[in-house]
């Protein structure tokens, strides 16, 4: 923990393994799982999560960039890693050197990749992406046969997969079905000779087993968040809880304004707790006036503006609270726990955004098998 600033996130690696099993149980036995660990594993710490997923038997990992993949390779992760980027801009050689599997969808990118591979080297495993309606990366469905033929002709490449990505799998409606039909139509009945066909993110995994094909690509659900209401019928376990300790307690007279803008004014003599967490840590500024935390098993309101490094809470109705008492910002004990969807509702945030925004000042503490370990030991010291 950063000395004197006890604000940390507890990450339950057993829950990661449990959630992977929930995904497996949804799928047929021969369906592979690619665990999405991009954006530092949605803020959970990519290296620790990748090790946990590897131990739990995931077949591949997915990241957003070569740099993210290199971090995992340097940490000793040997699993196949798919780089979901589409274009590699003069870093192509790193893909071959580190046995990374790029996603491609354009001949120009294949040209650059081919040029980066020396004759006699192992072929580079690539995944071709088809745009069936997301409108970001991917070839048009009719371009797929030509790209595949080229990959299969070239000794530089091995076709590892053919993929697409859903835009609205968490919504009720026909859009996902239409995307899927467009994908399966262009895949045709052909035998893909070991190349995996994949399109399902978390929401699609729970929505319909037809979407699983040969491999699924869960992100959010591995981190214990239902991709839509009741998707997992309560089977997923929360992975991350976020904590701090009260830094200072002071009593202010009635009529005192608290925080930037002075928008909250005490209506009674108020015992105020100042928490060492703010928007620089990812605690949402927009939660002012709505957010709550849990102290001594009670919900306590955040008052005044959430500032960069500090947040104030009203402790007046709580007996016996002391400085250094623990405070749950997300999660926490029992039925009072702050749910991710609540914090999102209070702050107008997307749950993905909330998790990814928990900043580097928040020490990650990993728990597995009843043991805890503080992550990233760099400049930090562990408080007793
Ligand atoms: C290509 C791709 N596949 C899978 C995922 C995982 O999505 P989710 O976190 O909704 O499961 C993502 C995440 O954005 C993605 O970009």
What pLDDT is attached to residue 173?
84
Residues of the chain with CATH 3.20.20.10: 31-223
Question: Does the beta carbon of 202 lie inside 6 Å of ligand 1?
Answer: yes
Question: Does the beta carbon of 217 lie inside 6 Å of ligand 1?
Answer: yes
What pLDDT is attached to residue 335?
83
Determine contact, residues 35/58, Cβ cutoff 8 Å: yes
Give the residue ranges of the chain where pLDDT is below 70: 1-2, 375-384
Question: Is there a catalytic annotation at residue 38?
Answer: yes
pTM for the model:
0.95
CA angle 140, 142, 146 (to 5 degrees): 105
Question: SS3 sequence, the chain?
Answer: CCCCCCEEEEEEHHHHHHHHHHHHHHCCCCCEEEEECHHHHHHCCHHHHHHHHHHCCCCEEEECCHHHHHHHHHCCCCCCEEECCCCCCCCHHHHHHCCEEEEECCHHHHHHHHHCCCCCCCCEEEEEEECCCCCCCCECHHHHHHHHHHHHHCCCEEEEEEECCCCCCCCCCCHHHHHHHHHHHHHCCCCCCCCEEEEECHHHHHHCHHHHCCEECCCHHHHCCCCCCCCCCCCCCCCEEEEEECCEEEEECCCCEECHHHCEECCCCEEEEEECCCHHHCCCHHHCCCCEEEECCEEEEEECCCCCCCEEEECCCCCCCCCCCEEEEEECCHHHCECHHHHHHHHCCCHHHHHHHCCCCCEEEEEECCEEEECCCCCCCCCC
Residues of the chain with CATH 2.40.37.10: 240-374
CA of 38 to the centre of ligand 1 (A): 9
At 34, list the tokens. Answer: 């690619």
Q: Which of 19, 23, 219 to mutate to test the pocket of ligand 1 (most atoms within 8 A of CB)?
A: 219
CA of 115 to the centre of ligand 1 (A): 30
CATH topology of domain 31-223: TIM Barrel (3.20.20)
* CATH among 1.10.3720.10, 2.40.37.10, 2.40.50.140, 2.30.30.60 for 240-374: 2.40.37.10
Question: Is there a catalytic annotation at residue 260?
Answer: yes
Cα-based torsion angle of the residue sequence 41, 47, 48, 51 in order, rounded to the nearest 10 degrees: 110
**Alpha carbon distance 368, 181 (integer Å):** 41
What pLDDT is attached to residue 1?
62
Cα 317–chain centre separation: 36
Question: Does the beta carbon of 220 lie inside 6 Å of ligand 1?
Answer: yes
Residue nearest to atom 14 of ligand 1 (CA): 219
What pLDDT is attached to residue 334?
73
């Amino acid at each position: 923990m950063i000395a004197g600033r006890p604000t940390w996130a507890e990450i339950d690696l057993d829950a990661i393994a449990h959630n992977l099993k929930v995904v497996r149980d949804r799928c047929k036995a021969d369906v592979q799982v690619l665990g999405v660990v991009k954006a530092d594993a949605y803020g959970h710490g990519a290296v620790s999560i990748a090790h946990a997923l590897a131990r739990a038997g995931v077949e591949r990992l997915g990241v957003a960039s070569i740099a993210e993949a290199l971090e995992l390779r340097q940490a000793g992760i040997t699993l196949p890693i798919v780089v979901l980027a589409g274009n590699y801009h003069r870093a192509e050689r790193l893909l071959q050197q580190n046995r990374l599997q790029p996603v491609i969808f354009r001949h120009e990118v294949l040209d650059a990749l081919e040029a980066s591979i020396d004759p006699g080297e192992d072929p580079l495993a690539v995944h071709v992406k088809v745009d069936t309606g997301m409108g970001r990366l991917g070839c048009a469905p009719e371009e797929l046969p030509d790209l595949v033929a080229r990959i299969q002709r070239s000794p530089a490449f091995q076709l590892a997969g053919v993929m697409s990505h859903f835009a609205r799998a968490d919504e009720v409606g026909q859009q996902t079905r239409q995307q899927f039909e467009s994908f399966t139509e262009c895949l045709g009945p052909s035998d893909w000779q070991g190349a995996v066909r994949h399109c399902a993110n978390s929401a699609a995994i729970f929505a319909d087993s037809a979407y699983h094909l040969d491999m699924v690509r869960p992100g959010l659900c591995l981190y214990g968040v239902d991709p839509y209401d009741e998707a997992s019928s309560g089977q997923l376990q929360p992975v991350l809880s976020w904590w701090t300790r009260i830094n200072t307690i002071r009593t202010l007279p009635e009529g005192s304004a608290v925080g930037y803008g002075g928008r909250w004014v005490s209506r009674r003599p108020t015992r105020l707790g100042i928490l060492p967490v703010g928007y620089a840590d990812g605690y949402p500024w927009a939660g002012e006036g709505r957010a709550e935390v849990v102290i001594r098993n009670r919900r306590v309101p955040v008052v005044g503006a959430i500032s960069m490094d500090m947040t104030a809470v009203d402790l007046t109705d709580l007996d016996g609270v002391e400085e250094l008492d623990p405070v749950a910002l997300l999660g926490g004990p029992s039925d009072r726990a702050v749910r991710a969807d609540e914090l999102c509702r209070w702050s107008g945030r997307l749950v993905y955004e909330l998790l990814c925004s928990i900043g580097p000042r928040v020490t990650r503490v990993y728990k597995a098998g009843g043991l805890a370990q503080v992550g990233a030991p760099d400049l930090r010291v562990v408080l007793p």
